[in-house]
Amino acid sequence: MVLAVNAENTYIALGGFTESGLRFCAHIATAPFRTADQYACDLLSMLTLYHVSEEPIEGAVLCSVVPSITSVLTEALRRISGHEPMNISSGVRTGLNIKIENPRQLGSDLVCLAVEAAATLPMPCLIVAADTATTFTALNSSGTMVGSAIAPGLLIGLAALRTHAAQLPSIRPEAPEHGVMGCNTTDSMRSGVLFGHACMIDGMIQRFSEALGGDITVALTGAYSELLAPHLRTQTYRYPDLALHGLYRIWKKNKKRKS
């Protein structure tokens, strides 16, 4: 089994892959001050929870957009797998053609998403990843990554309301009970943040479609994709584990090169 770990600002996704595909997917909260031992315990607990703790680990691959925990997670994976984890960086072969001003500045999470989309989805394609930030990654008709956009995510919107509007409460991002017309403060906030975010995504999809020259495949992924999907008016295809599959694909590509 190969362990694939995608570390985002809010959560860390862990997937276990075999030749037959994804065996399990788990999520733990990102905690910047945890030690390698603590993360190792968390990861081992997930293996036990999903009944794969007895399976031999062939390797591990890590994508992290949180620099403060990258080395800690690397050490945690080294301890539980017995292998040196592959970190997605500029020295790793991805097979992705990137045409932006500075490819080295492209987030490793976007690379993983684009690698899997280019290999499996019809082109041109737009990947919408609804996480701490909501990102848009565009692939043209040949599968080349040609541009992206980064917008504040759902949680950032809620945090901004709570921080800058003193009388507004702290709430979870959920669908309002009575639809778009909130009948209380909590529902009004949920309506504005959720439906407003969905409208933003619909509008950005339209603009990217125009920039890419017409009909495009839209892949929706990320922690908040399930919450947002029913409220989008543009046709999208939900791929919740797209980044993990991209990580595994990159691991296999580099393993073959070393063989």
Question: Which positions are annotated as active-site residues?
Answer: 109
Total Cβ atoms within 10 A of residue 178: 11
219/238 Cα distance (integer angstroms): 6
Q: What is the DSSP letter of 192?
A: I
- Residue type at 249 in one-letter notation: R
Token digits of residue 224? 């908040």
With residue 90 as reference, give the H or E element that holds it.
none
- Residue type at 75 in one-letter notation: E
Does residue 220 contact residue 251 with C-beta atoms inside 8 Å?
no
Query: What is the DSSP track for 224-255?
Result: THHHHGGG-SS--EE-TTHHHHHHHHHHHHHH
Q: Is 112 left (phi over 0), alpha (psi -120 to 50) or beta?
A: alpha
Using the structure block, give the residue that is written with the tokens 């956009």.
149
Bridge partners for 149 per DSSP: 136
137/113 Cα distance (integer angstroms): 8
